[in-house]
Structure 1
Amino acid sequence: MKEYNPREIEPRLQQAWADAELDKVNESADKPKKYVLEMFPYPSGDIHMGHVRNYSIGDVVARYNRMRGFDVLHPMGWDAFGLPAENAAIKRNSHPATWTYANIETQKASFKRMGFSYDWDRTVVACDPEYYRWGQWIFEQFWKRGLVERRNSPVNWCPGCQTVLANEQVIEGRCWRCDSEVEKRDLTQWYFKITDYAQELLDDLDQLEGWPERVKQQQANWIGRSEGAEVQFALCDADGNETDDLITVFTTRADTLFGCSFFVLAPEYPRVAELVAGTEYEKPVMDLVEASKKVTAVQRAQGDHEKHGEFTGRYVVNPINGQKVPVWVADYVVADYGTGAVMAVPCGDQRDFEFARKYNLPIIPIILGDDDPLMEQLAGEKNRVVTEVPWEEAMDAEGTLVQSGPYTGMRGGKHSEGEAAIVAALEEAGRGKRKVEFRLRDWLISRQRYWGNPIPAIHCPECGVVPVPEEDLPVLLPKDIDLAAGETLASHEEFCSCTCPKCGGPAKRETDTMDTFTCSSWYYMRYTDPHNQDAPFDSAKANRWMPVDQYIGGIEHAILHLLYSRFYTKVLRDCGLLNFDEPFTNLLCQGMVLDEHGDVMSKSKGNVIAPETMIERYGADAVRAYILFMAPPEKELLWNEDGLAGVHRFLVRVWRQVHDLLGIAGEETLFDPEAVNDKKAPAPADAAKTLLRERHRVVGKVTDDFERTNFNTAIAAIMELSNAAGAFLRVTNAEQRAAEYADMAAEVASVLVRLLAPVAPHWADELWQTALGNEGSVHRAEWPTFDPEAAKADEVELAVQINGKVRARINVAASAAEDDIRAQALEAISAYTEGKNVLKAIVIPGRLVNVVVK
């Protein structure tokens, strides 16, 4: 028998697969399609175990579906623009492309070493002009549809990366890339109007039945739909007389308007400077505005951040009761949600409550629970009586309205009787209307760095901002740029200077590049037609392959890449390029790989395990099988090399079993003559019967598990089939197997190899061809079938309990009636029940009998 030697087998088969173009997609095949995709990586170095897990999962899905008769698209590429490449180039006095393409070659070699079955003819690299040309073209289609806007507004500025960030790229106040604290700056930037699709992005989450609920919930929360009302407050003069100058707020709780005791503007509110200009309040207010820029919007919005405010000296009039309300500027209000102005109701909002306590502002109770001590005092009152409360925190739940004029006694809360009545009154007075607001803000795509896709726009002093003509795309990045010397696109004269395509006069090119998430928001479409020179993709091809049937990647992209990709898909659908609404039918978010101490593996921590080291010791197939077996794919995986060694031993054992089952092992490797006389060992006929039953049961189990991406339990089931094969081989010798069980043994050998083929592709292909003697690759073979009736056991073992304690075990016919099972169980425990009163015997089919005695 040839020994299992992955060092020799794996490179040889990888080359054979490449020569045969085994994984190349045959688009003319008359087969149902399956599009399997893992999120493409950033080429920042060689792959790590997190990559191995992600791509092993995808490869199993792809290989399994090929064997199931599908025409499978399984491509790979690189998300190649971005700051790491630029920073590495500056550090090395090199060019980002040099670093990027070198890392791509390194990663590609590792992917091949792992045996991943990619169609390399479909590779997409985001920094290739042939790809980013179409990214610019798509930008211009968005522009034509009114989805591109250039405006001045407060933005997130990362001092570490020296660029702006979208809201989604600020994680707890820090840059998602470098972890620097993010600041606010006023800049003119480019935006995609993703808010135009906010409602559809929210509604269509219901279509995504194959997505994890936690991802859908994160997106729903980020989109943040709120139903409420816009309310207009009029600025007033010193005597409280209203002016025509109105400030609008959005509120979901118009029912609490009678509790508005002060009015708050965000530091970024555009009229703050105007409201305090030339007054004694100007300096303290503007000092607060400047100070707030050093605190991130996320920190400011968090309830535990210390709140700071300054009075503006101005007042507004509450439109529901005519009361004069002071206007403050406070750093706990941010301009990203609503209008940047807030009607502060401290009795019903904890942040307002804390601010009011700090600055001695009134807290007017206007909504109370039925058991609140203030209820008796305030119920029925038509005028404000109490402006302070004994509470230690705000009461923001539903309740009964008090001190609310004609609405006192009504039920308050969202969508309540009181809320409806007050909004109706505001609408009648022309001071309010129903409104739906979203937390989602427009996607800021401008980046002030070199290594990105240039925004295809030209600034002309006569014509304004105009798009680059489509025939002039792509706008190419200049290669002769000295990043180490601090040169940027803005200072690169040859890049900047151009001619206006409308008037022919001198103009300047846009020097911002696009957020790299624009590259990853449509790459999966380009895979369907990667060499198209006339369009980003052929619609017929995209519509044939899309949506992606199984998408695999990290949960960290829930409100970044995944949300943006959904947006791109909907826009390109509306452009007439696609005929579907959502890009990914099923989504699997794989868990992190942890080191032996439970810490996430990362280069910065120095605890990364190089796949190449493990491949050298145990082979790529063992690494793949281990990483799939040790935990469910969506859970964290604790790395343990002992477990990897155990999986390697399992592959060695099944390798021997296949040869023994086929009668070609040479010397017997598993037959144990002493086992034949062991009373605990099964008779050969019984072992054969069990093996045949397990062959059908396990194929059914593995098929079901693979369909549901439960790879760990699928491999465990294959181990159970191996155990049954081992029991059979121990009690039968080669001659007996050849004479009595040759066909069944050969069938089980073939089934074992095919079941493990998606998991351990080199191991399986070698056995398929050299041991089983088949022509061609196992990866072109059919997936094994099974007979559900043949998988059923003739007998089952049941535990027999007395008052919850196991006292015996019985074997009963699988089809036995409950009365017969009950009688057999009582007989088995008769010694324990003698002299006792048997109250009942409960049969749980297939598991146990629980007897209750007294």
Structure 2
Amino acid sequence: MTEYNPNVIEKKWQDIWEEKEVFKTSTDKSKPKFYALIEFPYPSGKGLHVGHPRPYTALDIVARKRRFEGYNVLYPMGWDAFGLPTENFAIKNKIHPKVVTEKNVEMFKNQLKSIGFSFDWSREINTTDPMYYKWTQWIFLKMFEKGLAYKQEMPINWCTSCKVGLANEEVVNGTCERCGGEVVRKVKNQWMLKITEYADRLINDLDTVDYIERVKTQQINWIGKSEGMEVDFQISGTDDKLRVFTTRPDTLYGSTYMVIAPEHPLIEKYKNEIKNLDELKTYQEMSSKKSDFERTELVKEKTGVEIKGLKAINPANGKEIPIWISDYVLISYGTGAIMAVPSHDSRDWEFAKKFGLPIVEVVAGGNVEENAYTDTESGILINSGFLNGLEVKEAKKKMSDWLEEKGLGERKINYKLRDWVFSRQRYWGEPIPLVYCEKCGWVPVPEEELPVLLPEVESYEPTDNGESPLAKMKDWVETTCPKCGGKATRETDTMPQWAGSSWYFLRYIDPHNENELASKEELDYWLPVDWYNGGMEHTTLHLLYSRFWHKFLYDLGVVPCPEPYKKRTSHGMILGENNEKMSKSRGNVINPDEIVNEYGADTLRTYEMFIGDFEKSVPWSENGVKGCRRFLERVWRLQDIVVEGDDCSKELETSIHKTIKKVTEDYENLKFNTAIAALMSLLNEFNSIGKMTHEDMRTYLILLNPVAPHITEEMWDRLNLGGMLHKATWPKWDKDKIVDEIIEIAIQINGKVRGKETISIDETKESIREKVLKNEGTRKYVEGKNIVKEIYVPGKIYNIVVK
């Protein structure tokens, strides 16, 4: 037998798969479909690092398994290629962003092909392709038509060095994360998308999808829905009021001061009455250099300035209270003003303690300073006039009724979610397909004229006044109004990188369609996406934006379902060997090309799946890579012990069927490490008896193939096991042959047997609990009840005590 040589084997099979279009998605719609989706990468000049293949391999395993099971599989790949990193590189190196993008895509694609992913490359998309962004522009025009796209003055983070607007996450300690330059707040007229219109649906429809719990929680927290009251505080001696939103109107008597955002228009309006205007202006300038994220960080030290010369009146008790400005209050959130209740809010308490402001306890429940950190949700009202003696819940209602009756406030639902700032003052993005006419206002470019192409420019340098580089292109900017035929100018802002990634999963379904985003027939068949895996860092903004766009398209009748993704899972990062996040500055980045060249793509794939719990971050280990290579060499040597036989080896029948069951279930539950461990264990058993039949080998190679496709295809071919491996059928286990592993337990509710459940002998308590709570016989005794205790006697009984 020849030596295992992955460099030869892997190239051979990659060429065969490409030539025969093995992974091209079938047009046969009689088959059940499976749409597997991973987040398409940003093709930077750095290329892939070993973190990228982890999620790609995971869903590649599931996609390959589904093909064995007879599904029509769509597993596509593309490029999220617009964006500032490419533009900055182009500016620095005097190369057109289009050229930079083409080179980066070519490098990424070659890297991905070398790892042997079963992508359908015939469906490759690129957000910078005019035939792609034509439909991005089309979606934007539909939003404009429906009133969901509008223009508004908005403060942005402005890097004085890069001369470009930055996202909050790109500002660190008041400086630009990229260049270290000073960042200031600048007001710009920006295009906005009204995502808040969909806030309730974005929360409620999470009940209809299979997302891991931490993803749902992040979505809900980001939207931040809260029910409460908007309350008016009169500004003493004036007709003006400061309106605040609060979820705790019951604590109004405990409001001993107010805080407004440094940018609040009140300061300009009453500048003649304010006695310390210079002090306030200094503080305003300091605040303008911080991002919203930095301003609202809970851990930072509180700062602020009292507005001397203005007071507010607490509507509950008529007392005058001071008004402060502080950067932890944002003009863009709520009303830009808060009522501070330092006895029952940790942030307000820290501020009050620092500046010596009064603290009045209004909900009984122990030491005031302790309460500050419990944000009391229950207890009896004290020091609160007509609310004294009431429970919090009752006091909330009574105060809300009183405020509405007196005309001092109204019930309100508030959201932390803000409308999406959609403008970018840069070149490398989708042109916004609108023109401005003095007579007609903003007018959409006619659909038949889409796409509005990004023009060629000599310089991508941002302008000194903060406008897009496109603003300097007079011939492109000056146009005629589609409505009246008069003079008009094009919008020179471009779309953010998020635009193209908000609907890319739809274009994969019908990527070459020139007449529509995708055909109705294709969308009806493929949607929703069956399984979407991505990083936790994208489970707020990207996931939210794409769900919003999809819901909008559903309302238009373009897509057939209200949610884009049936299932969403997430993976942990691969860290450097020093247990730190991989980065060039730390010198711990691992290039997958080097691993593929030295050990083989199958070794890289096997190691990345064997490294640990898929959902947790894990450090890279060179020794672990070598261990996986040794495992594959042992798999290769199994060819030496194969004997004739189309039946399973009797000695290993139970072990083989247990392994089929284990691997099948573990692949579906992202437990790749334990699936591979089971295959390692079975390999040991084959070697211990010194032989295996052709049927044993068929089963083993099919089970291993999704993880290590090249070596398994080669061995299948060498041993003449029938046709090509990728056309085989996934093996099934016989429950009678793993009988020692299956047992039945009784389920008791309050001591009475109410049902029985079949479980595996080694099944976890969490898994058993899930089965017990879904059991038809017991569910009616548990639903709507309070579970006070659960006792599991392993292998015998599961007892639940309910009230």
Q: TM-score, normalised by structure 2?
A: 0.87
Q: 436-445 or 269-278, which moves further after superposition? A: 269-278
Q: 2 CA distance for matches of 1:428 and 1:214?
A: 41
Equivalent position amino acid for 1:64 in 2: K
Equivalent position of 1:404 in the other structure:
384
Partner of 1:832: none
Partner of 1:473: 450
Alignment deviations for residues 119-177 of structure 1 (CA, whole Å, 9 cap, x no partner):
11101101110111110100011111211111013233355654334567778988787
The one-letter amino acid paired with 1:151 is Q
Paired residue type of 2:725: V
Show CA shifts across 1:791-817 (max 9, x none). Answer: 345999xxxxxxxxxxxxxxxxx9xxx
Deviation at 1:300, TM superposition (A): 2.6
8 Å CA contact 1:53–1:627 kept in 2: the answer is: yes
> Cα distance, 1:399 vs. partner?
3.0
Aligned counterparts of 1:117 and 1:539: Cα–Cα separation in 2: 26
Instruction: Give, as a single letter, the amino acid of the residue that structure 1 aligns with 2:694.
Output: A
Question: Are the aligned partners of 1:285 and 1:312 in contact in 2 as well (CA < 8 Å)?
Answer: no
Matches of 1:394 and 1:767, distance apart in 2: 63
Q: Which one-letter code corresponds to 1:431 in the other structure? A: L
Does residue 787 (structure 1) correspond to residue 788 (structure 2)? The answer is no
TM-aligned CA distance change 1:161 to 1:569, over 3 Å: farther
- 1:410–1:591 CA distance, 2 compared to 1 (3 A): same
Which residue of 1 is the match for residue 436 of structure 2?
459
Aligned residue for 1:790, secondary structure, equals helix
- CA distance in 1 between counterparts of 2:460 and 2:364 reads 63
Change (3 A) 1:134 1:607: same
- The letter of the residue matching 1:710 is K
Residue number among 501, 512, 515 corresponding to 1:520 in the alignment: 501
Partners of 1:203 and 1:845 lie apart in 2 by 39
The corresponding residue for 1:240 is none
Worse-superposed segment, 522-531 or 309-318:
309-318
Question: Using a 3 Å threshold, how does the CA distance of structure 1 residues 564 and 158 change in structure 2: closer, same or farther?
Answer: farther
- Displacement, 1:236? 3.1
- Structure 1's 606 and 634: CA in aligned 2 closer, same or farther, altered over 3 A? same
Relative to structure 1, is the Cα distance of residues 276 and 51 closer, same or farther in structure 2, using a 3 angstrom cutoff? same
**Partner residue, 1:677:** none
1:158-307 → structure 2 map (5 Å cutoff): 158-159=159-160, 162-165=163-166, 183-209=184-210, 211-237=211-237, 243-277=238-272, 279-303=274-298, 304-307=300-303
Cα distance change on mapping 1:764 and 1:430 into 2, 3 Å = same
Partner of 1:577: 558
Cα deviation, residue 390, structure 1: 8.4
C-alpha distance in structure 2 between counterparts of 1:39 and 1:422, whole Å: 48
Letter in 2 for 1:101: E
- CA displacement, residues 333-361 of structure 1 (integer Å, 9 cap, x when unaligned): 22232101112222223333333344443
Q: Which moved further from structure 2: 360-369 or 184-193?
A: 360-369
Q: Which residue in the other structure is 1:134 paired with?
A: 135
For residues 538-687 of structure 1, the aligned pairs below 5 Å read 538-662=519-643
> How much does 1:592 deviate?
1.2
Distance 1:27 1:272, change over 3 A: farther
> Within 1, Cα distance between the matches of 2:713 and 2:88?
43
Match of 2:799 in 1: none
Contact 1:181 1:296 in 2 (8 A): no
Contact map agreement 1:595 1:638 (CA 8 A) in 2: yes
| CA distance in structure 1 between the aligned counterparts of 2:496 and 2:707, rounded to whole angstroms | 37
Segments of structure 2 that go 5 or more residues without pairing to the other structure are 744-760, 762-792, 797-803
Does the C-alpha gap of structure 1 residues 579 and 764 become closer, same or farther in structure 2, counting only changes over 3 Å?
A: same
| Higher alpha-carbon deviation: 286-295 or 435-444 | 286-295
Higher mean alpha-carbon deviation, 785-794 vs 635-644, is at: 785-794
Distance 1:199 1:160, change over 3 A: farther
Distance between the aligned counterparts of 2:179 and 2:562, measured in 1? 34
The offset of 1:222, in angstroms, is: 1.0
Report if aligned partners of 1:273, 1:286 keep a CA contact under 8 Å in 2. no
TM-score, length-scaled by structure 1: 0.82
More displaced stretch, 309-318 vs 79-88: 309-318
Match of 2:695 among 747, 753, 763: 747
Letter in 1 for 2:524: N
- Asked if 1 retains the 8 angstrom alpha-carbon contact of 2:343 and 2:371, the reply is no
1:333-412 alignment runs, 5 A limit: 333-369=329-365, 371=366, 396-397=375-376, 398-412=378-392
Q: Give the 3-state SS of the residue equivalent to 1:584 in structure 2.
A: coil
Map of 2:749 onto structure 1: none
Find the aligned partners of 1:432 and 1:503 in 2 and give their Cα distance.
46
Does 1:762 find its partner at 2:710?
yes
Give the 3-state SS of the residue equivalent to 1:598 in structure 2. Answer: coil
Aligned mates of 2:218, 2:670 — CA distance in 1? 23
2:416 aligned residue: 439
1:546 CA drift (Å): 1.6
Instruction: Summarize deviations over 1:683-708 as a string: whole Å, max 9, x none.
Output: xx9x9533122111111111111121
Partners in 2 of 1:161 and 1:213 — Cα distance?
39
8 Å CA contact 1:698, 1:718 repeated in 2: yes
Matched residue count: 740
Amino acid at match of 2:235: L
Q: Deviations over 1:654-693 (max 9, x none)?
A: 22213421469xxxxxxxxxxxxxxxxxxxx9x9533122
Question: What are the equivalent positions in structure 2 for 1:102-121 lying under 5 Å apart?
Answer: 102-121=103-122
Pick closer, same or farther for the CA change 1:312–1:525 going to 2, 3 Å. farther
My pick for the range that moved more, 327-336 or 426-435, is 327-336
Secondary structure of 1:310's counterpart equals strand
Change (3 A) 1:488 1:438: same
Note closer, same or farther for the CA distance 1:639–1:363 as it changes in structure 2 (3 Å cut): closer
Q: Deviations over 1:533-552 (max 9, x none)?
A: 11111133123112211212
| 2:456 maps to amino acid | K
Change (3 A) 1:574 1:186: same
Is the alpha carbon distance of 1:283 and 1:173 closer, same or farther for their aligned partners in structure 2, counting shifts above 3 Å? closer
1:703-737 per-residue CA deviation (whole Å, 9 max, x = no partner) reads 111121211111111112211111121xx6xxxxx
Aligned to 1:704: 665
Change (3 A) 1:391 1:162: same
Deviations 1:428-449 (Å, cap 9, x if unpaired)?
A: 1111121111111111111111
What amino acid does structure 2 have at the position aligned with 1:152?
A: E
Query: What RMSD over aligned residues (CA atoms) do the two structures have, in Å?
Result: 2.7
What is the CA–CA distance in structure 1 between the aligned matches of 2:795 and 2:344, rounded to whole Å? 56
Aligned residue for 1:26, secondary structure, equals coil
**Uncovered stretches (5+) of structure 1, i.e. residues with no partner:** 238-242, 373-388, 665-684, 733-743, 797-813, 815-842, 847-854
Partner AA of 2:731 in structure 1: P
CA distance in 2, matches of 1:151, 1:301: 23
State how far apart, in whole Å, the 2-side matches of 1:181 and 1:425 are. Answer: 49
Deviation at 1:482, TM superposition (A): 1.7
Contact 2:343 2:369 in 1 (8 A): no
CA distance in 2, matches of 1:716, 1:690: 20
Q: Which moved more, 1:514-523 or 1:170-179?
A: 170-179
Q: Which whole-Å CA distance do the structure 1 matches of 2:604 and 2:369 have between them?
A: 63
Partner of 2:270: helix, strand, or coil? helix
Q: Structure 1 residues 180 and 694, CA, compared in 2 at 3 Å: closer, same or farther?
A: farther
Partner of 1:143: 144
Q: How far does residue 305 in structure 1 lie from its aligned partner after superposition?
A: 2.3
Give the residue type in structure 2 aligned to 1:565: S
Residue number in structure 1 paired with 2:407: 430
Asked if structure 2 preserves the Cα contact closer than 8 Å seen for 1:14 and 1:115, the reply is: yes
Equivalent in the alignment of 1:805: none
CA–CA distance in 1 between the matches of 2:674 and 2:116? Answer: 22
The alpha-carbon deviation at position 284 of structure 1 amounts to 2.7
